Amino acid sequence: MAGRTQAERSDETTGRLVRAARRLFGARGYAPTSIDAVAAAAGVTKGAAYHHFGGKVALFRAAFVRELEEVSAALERAAGAEQEPMAALRRGCRTFLEHCLDPGFRQIVLLDAPSVLSWETVRAIEHDHLLRVLHDGLRVAVAGGQAADGDLPVRARLVFGALCEGGMLLARSQDPAADLPRLAAEADRFLEALRR
Amino acid sequence: MAGRTQAERSDETTGRLVRAARRLFGARGYAPTSIDAVAAAAGVTKGAAYHHFGGKVALFRAAFVRELEEVSAALERAAGAEQEPMAALRRGCRTFLEHCLDPGFRQIVLLDAPSVLSWETVRAIEHDHLLRVLHDGLRVAVAGGQAADGDLPVRARLVFGALCEGGMLLARSQDPAADLPRLAAEADRFLEALRR
DNA sequence: CTAGTTACGTACTCTCAGTATGAAACATGG
DNA sequence: CCATGTTTCATACTGAGAGTACGTAACTAG
């Protein structure tokens, strides 16, 4: 393990810590997961965690950001596969609902984040990732004349709120594969409301 | 303080505890509020709290239920003042958004509850109060032929999710009185989507 | 009036977040 | 290559707070 640069050491350790944080915070939730447990799962001690992160909240925040980066990438990929703006929106919504089947994502992003981080913080981070994708999709639809004009940031936020609840419902279903289309149908109904 | 029955003593103490819990949990949030602080604010000690409630979570749950009872009553009152089913729905949504201006409600119900209690628990309690009102409103609208048929429990949940996000947005606004109509307009647009 | 139950208060334990403090591993000027 | 920072961690400690054990006072039942 000798001969590595400081940046390499840091990246290695922070990477391991964030990965472990996502696993443990995602599996057991924020409160019952000790920072020692995360450090141990990462193969280091608490000292390393407190050196690289300000505290437990900062470590959680890093895991949260990582979750959002992943889902945003998946959304952009899915929406990019459609040409029609409204079809892209529907596809993106469906992809988000599917992503909610991941228990870690639900626990970190949908359940714990608003409580652990302030709502302002969550909103800001979500805006930079998830909401930006949704907002862009809406803007394209409006520009193309396929959706009615209005307060797009607010509209994106409302759609997002509905999708989060839908994701939790889907995850709770005993047969998600069967319920996804039904849920997507109700969600599409709301998207249809935006047609001019 | 002598000569009271046991039931009176219990009711007095639990009432004071739940009121104090709503105040402190609502103002500072769940995690940074110690159970000793709640007990002190209620004029008792930790022993009383642990005697009447299973623990900190159970005390929070009682405060959460109380919040939901209040908002549900407000919703039923508001919706009951309208004859038209769709108008009652719009009125109820607007009332809910206004209720979100209460910081304690936001902190307890919208931010902390999903993290502190399990989602199953939150959903069950919300179903017995808030969601029941919304669901009934939707059912009346469908029965009257004013709204399209569909999966009403799911639809109610989606609307509820959108309203929660809207409530947080409204609270964050520096001029809620001015933003409420704009927000309600976007919310109404989604309700319009349900028209057959 | 006495035995039993309920409603607390007090004093403890134990976990865990956060804080030194020091020792390695690197970096940098000579 | 050496000496002196600087960064990266590990280890030992502190404090706060959730939960528990136990004792005592207030009610209840016979």
The domain that contains A122 carries what CATH number? 1.10.357.10
Per-residue model confidence (pLDDT) at position B192: 82
Per-residue model confidence (pLDDT) at position B1: 53
pLDDT above 60 for A1: no
Least Cα distance to A74 among A113, A102, A110, A108 occurs for A102
Note whether residue B89 is domain-resident: yes
User: ∠ at Cα B67 (B167, B93), nearest 5°?
Assistant: 35
Mind listing the pLDDT tens digit for each residue in A90-99?
999 999 999 9
Q: Chain B within 8 Å of A122 (Cβ-Cβ)? A: no
Note whether residue B114 is domain-resident: yes
Return the number of other C-beta atoms located less than 10 Å from residue A45's C-beta. Answer: 11
Helical residues (DSSP H) of B45-151, grouped into ranges: 46-52, 56-80, 85-99, 103-105, 113-116, 119-126, 132-143
Total CB pairs under 8 A between chain A and B: 112
Separation between Cα atoms, residue B70 and residue B48, nearest integer Å = 25
Name the residue facing A182 among B151, B159, B183 (closest C-beta). B151
- Shortest alpha-carbon distance between residue B190 and chain A (Å): 6
Residues of A in contact with B116 (CB under 8 A): 31, 115
Name the residue facing B189 among A112, A116, A193 (closest C-beta). A193
pLDDT of chain B, 196 residues: tens digit per residue: 567 898 999 999 999 999 999 999 999 999 999 999 999 999 999 999 999 999 999 999 999 999 999 999 999 999 999 999 999 999 999 999 999 999 999 999 999 999 999 999 999 999 999 999 999 999 999 999 999 988 899 999 999 999 999 999 999 999 999 999 999 988 888 888 888 6
pLDDT grade for A85, boundaries at 50, 70 and 90? very high
Per-residue model confidence (pLDDT) at position A192: 82
- Shortest alpha-carbon distance between residue A77 and chain B (Å): 25
From the CA of B51 to the C1' of C19: give the distance in Å: 35
Instruction: Give me the number of domains chain B comprises.
Output: 1
Mean model confidence pLDDT for chain A: 95
Residues of B in contact with A165 (CB under 8 A): 157-158, 160-161, 164
pLDDT above 60 for A8: yes
Name the residue facing A151 among B151, B182, B192 (closest C-beta). B182
Note whether residue B1 is domain-resident: no
Residue-number span of the structural domain to which A175 is assigned: 6-192
Per-residue model confidence (pLDDT) at position A2: 66
